[in-house]
Amino acid sequence: MRDASTPFDMTENRKAYARAGVDVDLGNKLKRRIQTLVRQTHGLQVLGKIGGFGGLFAPNFSGVREPILVASIDGVGTKLKIAFAMNKHDTIGADLLNHCVNDVAVLGAQPLFFLDYIGCDRLEPKVFRQLLRGLSRACRLAGCALLGGETAQMPGMYRKGEYDLAGCIVGMIDRARIIDGGNIKPGDVILGLASNGLHTNGYSLARKILLEKMGLKVSSHLPESNVTVGEELLRVHKNYQQLLAKVPSGIIKGLAHITGGGLIDNLPRILPKSCDAVIDTKSWRVPPIFQILQRNGDVDPVEMYQVFNMGIGMVAIVSEGDVPRTMSILKARQIGRTELGNGKTNLVF
């Protein structure tokens, strides 16, 4: 038993905690080293120092009549399993950031700041630096401040070498410019923006088909392709926000980020109850990865469009007269129309 008169030995205490699996000193050291990466995402709106109990952000709402904050939170699902298997962690942060940016962009919002959460068994300095490097770069490209985050070491909660990753984003839109689908009517045109592979959805099924049923490894070459399975599955989730921001205000009636649920479940989230979305599945070339998954997994075609994005990562709905210029700005293609209905997606094969 420690004598009450004996000074408390912090060094001894930290070492005991480290032996239990939580290295506080290492965590502090890594956080200090990544401060330069974090600062690179900061503009004049970020106040205070890095590492406080909360991040300070002074938004500039000049020119905005009625600013509305838009918030979203998400993760990247079992795409993390591919990053673990490849021992490549410099793109998964970009996947997370871009996914979240797109989720607020569908309302017309521009991103303001982002907060990340990393939960792990033990901190691996190399992995931590890769994660933050990729996340920081994606934030800079998106014009979004990496305002803060949390790194939790929880021995026994995760498998060795694995971690969980999640993030919360806050954006801003002028109330008069919110895109909510309220003006969509029968006869409008549905435009599709190409995806860059699976993005961050459908990985549990994709891994089961490719790695279990087909017996491939992440280092195996994908059939009829010049890339490996791992390279294909780690393609970075596209950020559509800056492209969407180029479209004049009021042109786009509705936007849907095609994530989990695919075209089948995501389009109804923006459709009026009186409209159906009719999608011509032959209006674009489905990328080979989805064809491989359907063929080798014997997946029903309809289910494919509910699990995967099938090559369409974002959908915009516009009036017929606005189609040519919107298609040109967004580099999109027409994939369907809205018709009188009851708020569902109908696929035409």
Q: Kindly report, residue by residue over 132-151, the tens digit of the pLDDT.
A: 999 999 999 999 999 999 99
Least confident of 47-51, 140-144, 165-169: 47-51
Token pair recorded at residue 135: 């996340």
- Confidence (pLDDT) at 27: 64
Do residue 19 and residue 163 come from a single domain? yes
Question: Of the residues 149, 177, 205, which one is the last residue of a structural domain?
Answer: 177
| pLDDT bracket for residue 26 (50, 70, 90) | low
How many domains in the chain?
2
Task: Give the three-class secondary structure for 56.
Answer: strand
Helix axes 79-86, 92-105, angle to 10 degrees: 160
Task: Give the three-class secondary structure for 66.
Answer: coil
- Confidence (pLDDT) at 302: 98
CATH no. for residue 240?
A: 3.90.650.10
Q: What is the pLDDT of residues 210-224, one digit of tens each?
A: 999 999 999 999 998
- Confidence (pLDDT) at 112: 98
- pLDDT higher than 90, residue 107: yes
Token pair recorded at residue 160: 């060795």
- Confidence (pLDDT) at 67: 97
- Confidence (pLDDT) at 53: 86
Do residue 150 and residue 93 come from a single domain? yes
Could you tell me what percent of the chain has a pLDDT over 90?
Answer: 82
| pLDDT bracket for residue 167 (50, 70, 90) | very high
Do residue 16 and residue 159 come from a single domain? yes
CATH no. for residue 45?
A: 3.30.1330.10
| Residues of the domain holding 76 | 10-177
Q: Which of 246, 252, 206, 199 is nearest to 76 (CA)?
A: 199
Average pLDDT over residues 239-258: 98
